[in-house]
């Protein structure tokens, strides 16, 4: 298999017998050739092997006697020899070549090789032999994405000199027994940022070994010099190395010893692991970010479930407080207490709705939104947490701000993210902790309409000016480990820009810490107040209007009965859809107020039965629901165009929605 071979000329090469660019004894070079972690061979003009090193023999599964003196066709096989012949003509013409590609030697399976082929030229100018060296980079090729930097490093060897060691793809560093540098190849020069000429004769410990490891290195040299064991010899090791600029980086090293003329030499083959380590760390960081994201998703689902379960008892508290307030008209003190209970219940309702809006998964729905209302809702939800953390909140909200065209859930999430971000920024702050939230209107410009702006400022440590944009990158955070996920600001800016606005970090901060400014275009009419008007003014219904209330929770059914009867309605209650159908068959009703989620027969099944048996009543059903998180519930309400009322609700809400239904 020889497909995919890529040849590249290295130009005219001249290797003169008896002279090399190395300052070493030929026996040292011979030993280096035998032990370098790459294949090295020499082939004569008759295409017979003159030399093959240990790496080549091991890779081929052959002994030296089966290679040296043998023809290329016999050693490598007919297919490889056929591909070699046209290349050999160029090589014996004096041209040096480099090639890489897939090759199947002797049917041992395809492997990806990189090789350099150099002509050996005599003093008379005749090419006597071709020297070939290369390495199996199949694993590197298969992990090309992870090890792209190493591939680039390997490709850079095309410019290496004609010496075999100089052309090595790995960083090769040789020292004598005392640890003084005797060889430092070009790959090592590139890796460490030092030149060979400046290092020859210098102790290796001062060159590439970090200061904290030099004592151990010197002790190891001394131990080996006195006949002690060499613990790291021949093993693949990962260790820190030192660049010329003083920075450390990880390398993989294999060290071996060579005895020449009674002297010991040590050669290390090294690869830079910086890119591999960085990729591993990045993968681990993203895994941790994914775990955090999954945790937040689970927490969001839990909060949504808890909030939904709170709606029924909260509806009872709010409704009963409204009824109690009416009964205490002649008792101002008791009425004031009832009003406090109702206000607290309404606040709880806003917090629950905020939780549900955060967890709700649905397409964006744009509508008229008051920014100040979103701020107040988020402040209500965080009020207890901020008080317990000693954070004082100052609201400076402009009156009569224009509404904006936005998705209230998404924009509410942005406001909440900015406030939580301020809270986390104050976590380690000593002294008073302050947050100021202000809103206002920005005048229109020639190129854009007027904008509503919101600032969230804290008196924490602030954000460095060099991080002004990085803090908006996903998973980037300046907070301590375990605080925040690095997603809040990124998500918030994305949502703001989807709405035609933006979030920026202002410097200097308004209170000395960080100040984030959200701006959004105005696309609606100006509001005269930031709080929506009531649904309708409560009034007397037509006499003898009869309403059927259907709810499996008796407390909610009784509360709705009390609200409606107090307004003059005649009311009957049913604890299930089946009982409701029996009552509908026996009596006339003008409207039905039904819970959407009930055991046995739920609201949707009740509507279908009413549609079939009492078609006129199908258009006069008001569904009361804790939330429409379920896609099935949302789809049902959208398809049937039925009116709905979210829990918790006040008496005024119920009467206004029912009056609109009957009208």
User: Taking the model in full, what pTM does it have?
Assistant: 0.39
> What percent of the chain is modeled with pLDDT above 70?
79
Distances (CA, A) of 145 to 150, 279, 280: 10, 10, 12
CA distance 507 to 462: 9
Decide if 75 contacts 67 (C-beta within 8 A).
yes
Q: Can you tell me whether residue 409 is helix, strand or coil?
A: helix
- What are the tokens at 583? 């009552």
Q: What is the gyration radius of the CA atoms in the chain, in angstroms?
A: 40
CA distance 362 to 631: 8
Helix count (H) and strand count (E) of the chain?
19, 23
Instruction: In the chain, list all ranges with CATH 3.30.565.10.
Output: 365-533
Q: What average pLDDT score do residues 4-23 get?
A: 49
CA distance 137 to 148: 13
Phi and psi at residue 643, to the nearest 5°: -75, 150
Cis (ω within 30 of 0) for the bond into 97?
no
For residue 327, what pLDDT band results from cuts at 50, 70 and 90?
Answer: confident
Instruction: Indicate the CATH number for domain 171-272.
Output: 3.30.450.20
pLDDT of amino acid 15: 47
Cis (ω within 30 of 0) for the bond into 481?
no
Rounded to an integer, what is the distance from CA 613 to the centroid of its chain?
A: 55
- At 459-470, the pLDDT tens digits run 887 776 666 567
Instruction: In the chain, list all ranges with CATH 3.30.450.20.
Output: 6-159, 171-272
pLDDT of amino acid 151: 43
For residue 282, what pLDDT band results from cuts at 50, 70 and 90?
Answer: confident
Taking the CB of residue 524, how many other CB atoms lie within 10 A of it? 14
Q: Does domain 365-533 have CATH number 3.30.565.10?
A: yes
Helix (H) or strand (E) holding 62: none
The closest of 559, 457, 587 to 515, measured between CA atoms, is 457
Res. 481: pLDDT tops 60: no
Q: What average pLDDT score do residues 67-95 get?
A: 87
Angle at 154 between CA 153 and CA 159, to 5 degrees: 90
CATH domain 546-662 topology:
Rossmann fold (3.40.50)
Decide if 454 contacts 415 (C-beta within 8 A).
yes
Decide if 514 contacts 556 (C-beta within 8 A).
no
Q: What average pLDDT score do residues 72-97 get?
A: 86
Q: What average pLDDT score do residues 442-453 get?
A: 80
Q: Can you tell me whether residue 503 is helix, strand or coil?
A: strand
Instruction: In the chain, list all ranges with CATH 3.40.50.2300.
Output: 546-662
Decide if 610 contacts 274 (C-beta within 8 A).
no
The closest of 361, 402, 359, 352 to 380, measured between CA atoms, is 352
CA distance 60 to 67: 10
Beta bridge partners of 249: 241
- What are the tokens at 510? 């308004």
- At 584-641, the pLDDT tens digits run 888 889 999 998 888 878 888 889 999 998 888 888 999 888 755 556 677 788 888 8
Res. 48: pLDDT tops 90: yes
- At 130-163, the pLDDT tens digits run 988 888 878 777 777 564 544 454 444 434 444 5
Res. 165: pLDDT tops 80: no
Q: What is the mean pLDDT of the chain?
A: 78
- At 167-205, the pLDDT tens digits run 666 888 888 888 899 888 888 888 899 998 888 999 988
Q: What average pLDDT score do residues 292-300 get?
A: 64
pLDDT of amino acid 386: 86
Distances (CA, A) of 260 to 25, 47, 437: 8, 31, 78
Beta bridge partners of 264: 259
Taking the CB of residue 387, how many other CB atoms lie within 10 A of it? 11
- At 393-446, the pLDDT tens digits run 999 999 888 988 888 777 888 888 888 888 888 887 888 999 999 999 987 776
Decide if 551 contacts 560 (C-beta within 8 A).
yes
CA distance 631 to 361: 8
The closest of 428, 436, 421, 398 to 512, measured between CA atoms, is 436
- What are the tokens at 152? 């680039």
Give 605: exposed, middle or buried? Use CB within 10 Å, 0-12, 13-18, 19+.
middle
Find all residues with CB under 8 Å of 660, minimum gap 6, and list them. Answer: 535, 536, 643
Find all residues with CB under 8 Å of 84, minimum gap 6, and list them. Answer: 47, 72, 76
Find all residues with CB under 8 Å of 91, minimum gap 6, and list them. Answer: 97, 117, 119, 127, 130
Distances (CA, A) of 290 to 283, 287, 410, 485, 621: 10, 5, 22, 10, 44
Taking the CB of residue 498, how many other CB atoms lie within 10 A of it? 12
pLDDT of amino acid 591: 92
Decide if 471 contacts 433 (C-beta within 8 A).
no
- What are the tokens at 136? 């199996």
pLDDT of amino acid 297: 64
pLDDT of amino acid 359: 55
CA distance 516 to 285: 27
User: Which top CATH class is 6-159?
Assistant: alpha beta
Q: What average pLDDT score do residues 113-124 get?
A: 85
Helices 408-425 and 371-388 meet at what angle, rounded to 10?
A: 30
CA distance 3 to 392: 72
pLDDT of amino acid 555: 85
Give 445: exposed, middle or buried? Use CB within 10 Å, 0-12, 13-18, 19+.
exposed
Decide if 545 contacts 565 (C-beta within 8 A).
no
Rounded to an integer, what is the distance from CA 118 to the centroid of its chain?
A: 48
For residue 231, what pLDDT band results from cuts at 50, 70 and 90?
Answer: confident
pLDDT of amino acid 278: 86
pLDDT of amino acid 440: 92
pLDDT of amino acid 1: 47
Edge-first strand listing for the sheet containing 248-260: 181-184, 171-176, 263-272, 248-260, 236-242
- What are the tokens at 155? 């490709």
Res. 351: pLDDT tops 80: no
- What are the tokens at 40? 């090295």
CA distance 47 to 499: 73
């Amino acid at each position: 298999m020889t497909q995919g071979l890529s040849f590249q000329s290295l130009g005219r090469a001249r290797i003169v017998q008896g002279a090399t660019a190395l300052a070493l004894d030929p026996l040292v070079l011979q030993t280096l050739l035998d032990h370098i972690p790459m294949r090295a061979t020499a082939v004569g003009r008759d295409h017979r092997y003159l030399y093959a090193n240990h790496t080549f023999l091991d890779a081929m599964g052959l002994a030296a006697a089966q290679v040296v003196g043998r023809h290329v066709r016999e050693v490598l096989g007919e297919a490889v020899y056929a591909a070699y012949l046209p290349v050999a003509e160029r090589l014996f013409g004096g041209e040096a070549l480099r090639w890489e590609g897939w090759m199947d030697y002797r049917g041992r399976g395809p492997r990806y090789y990189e090789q350099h082929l150099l002509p050996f030229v005599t003093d008379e100018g005749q090419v006597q032999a071709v020297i070939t060296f290369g390495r199996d980079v199949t694993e590197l090729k298969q992990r090309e994405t992870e090890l792209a930097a190493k591939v680039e490093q390997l490709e850079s060897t095309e410019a290496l000199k004609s010496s075999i060691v100089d052309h090595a793809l790995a960083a090769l560093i040789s020292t004598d027994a005392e640890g003084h540098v005797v060889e430092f190849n070009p790959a090592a020069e590139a890796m460490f940022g030092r030149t060979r000429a400046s290092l020859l004769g210098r102790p290796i410990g001062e060159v590439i070994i970090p200061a904290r490891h030099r004592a151990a290195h010197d002790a190891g040299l001394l131990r080996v010099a006195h006949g002690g064991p060499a613990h790291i010899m021949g093993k693949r090791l990962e260790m820190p190395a030192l660049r010329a600029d003083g920075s450390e980086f990880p390398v993989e090293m294999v060290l071996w010893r060579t005895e020449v003329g009674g002297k010991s030499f040590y050669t290390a083959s090294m690869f830079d692991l910086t890119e591999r380590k960085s990729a591993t760390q990045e993968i681990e960081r993203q895994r941790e970010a994914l775990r955090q994201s999954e945790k937040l998703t689970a927490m969001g689902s839990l909060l949504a479930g808890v909030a939904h379960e709170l709606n029924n008892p909260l509806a009872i508290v709010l409704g009963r407080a409204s009824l109690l307030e009416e009964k205490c008209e002649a008792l101002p003190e008791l009425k004031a207490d009832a009003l406090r209970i109702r206000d607290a219940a309404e606040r709880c309702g806003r917090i629950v709705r905020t939780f549900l809006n955060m967890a709700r998964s649905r397409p964006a729905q744009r509508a008229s939104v008051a920014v100040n209302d979103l701020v107040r809702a988020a402040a209500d939800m965080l009020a207890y947490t901020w008080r317990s953390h000693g954070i004082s909140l100052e609201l400076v909200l402009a009156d009569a701000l224009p509404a904006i065209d936005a998705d209230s859930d998404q924009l509410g999430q942005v406001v909440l993210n900015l406030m939580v971000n301020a809270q986390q920024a104050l976590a380690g702050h000593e002294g008073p902790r302050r947050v100021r939230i202000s809103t206002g209107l920005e005048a229109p410009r020639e190129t854009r309409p007027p904008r509503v702006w919101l600032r969230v400022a804290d008196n924490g440590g602030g954000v460095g000016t060099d991080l002004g944009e990085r803090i908006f990158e996903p998973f980037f955070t300046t907070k301590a480990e375990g605080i925040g996920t690095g997603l809040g600001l990124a998500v918030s800016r994305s949502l703001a820009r989807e709405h035609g606005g933006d979030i920026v970090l202002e410097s200097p901060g308004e209170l000395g810490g960080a100040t984030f400014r959200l701006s959004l275009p105005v696309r609606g009419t100006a509001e005269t107040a930031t709080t929506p008007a009531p649904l309708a003014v409560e009034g007397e219904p037509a006499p003898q209007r009869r309403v059927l209330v259907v709810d499996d929770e008796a407390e909610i059914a009784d509360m709705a009965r009390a609200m409606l009867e107090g307004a003059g309605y005649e009311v009957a209650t049913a604890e299930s859809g089946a009982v409701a159908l029996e009552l509908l068959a026996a009596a006339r009703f003008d409207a039905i107020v039904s819970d959407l989620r009930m055991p046995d027969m739920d609201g949707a099944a009740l509507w279908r039965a009413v549609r079939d048996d009492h078609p006129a009543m199908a258009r006069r059903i008001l569904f009361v629901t804790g939330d429409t998180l379920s896609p099935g519930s949302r789809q049902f309400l959208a398809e049937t165009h039925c009116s709905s009322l979210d829990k918790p609700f006040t008496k005024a809400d119920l009467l206004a929605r029912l009056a609109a239904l009957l009208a």
